[in-house]
Amino acid sequence: MLWCGCLLTQGMLGSVRYALLDAPSALLLAAAVVATERARPWIAAVILGLAGLARETSLLGTTLFLRFLNRSPVSWLRVGALGLVSAIPLLIWMDYLRSIYRTAAWASGGNLATPLAGLIWKARASISQVATSGWHPATISSLLVLVAFVTQVSYVVRLAILRRTEESAWLPIALAYSVLGLLAHQVVWEGSPGAIARVVLPLAIGFNVLARRAPWPVVALGNLGVVAGIESFVFRV
């Protein structure tokens, strides 16, 4: 089920269906995690730099370097240098775009909002659709993605509070994408089920890595996006 949660979730299948870069950037992020866990942080930084060119939010993956922090000032300089190496490719690309279009290349596009605003809007909109149109497949998919997201965030935050991080570098990444999802604007949540599952795809992957010892109801609820993914990938035109 954990592999299905990574490969068949709505975010992954949506990226494949529409030929978007969310899945490739998530793959590069996973490669950076592997390099970090094998004590190859500089290789991980280069990989994250490539991932940032595919999807700028991939630079949230630099949070995995926090595991190298300690009381030594050298560790802070090292982590800062790793973050800089990760960001350099995107900064160069943005400067190139600015030189061509003579305008700022970076803009959030109104995709960030007050914390929980987009989530609450989506919950209300989905409940309203059920009340007016009944249990339409598109509405069900939206609700499944919503429940999966809330479950994933709750579980990841619980692990962070209990400090049950042990060996995986996925926890800081999952936390970073949890914050991103909670800050997502209504426009990211719009649609059935919306772009949110693609935007926080690394959260779904991180959840499944971290949930290897979780109770099966938690795993099942956190992977309801698989049902939504299959429904939208197979049954929609």
Q: pLDDT tens digit string along 94-112? A: 888 888 877 655 555 568 8
In the chain, the number of structural domains is 1
What is the per-residue pLDDT for 199?
Answer: 93
> Within the chain, which residues score under 70 in pLDDT?
1, 103-110, 164-167, 233-237
- Provide the residue range defining the domain that includes 119: 2-234
Question: Among candidates 194, 218, 198, 197, which has minimal Cα distance to 208?
Answer: 218
What is the per-residue pLDDT for 99?
Answer: 83
d(CA 8, CA 49): 26
What is the per-residue pLDDT for 109?
Answer: 57
What is the per-residue pLDDT for 172?
Answer: 93
What tens digit of pLDDT does each residue of 142-152 get? Answer: 899 999 999 99
What is the per-residue pLDDT for 10?
Answer: 85
pTM of the complete model beyond 0.85? yes
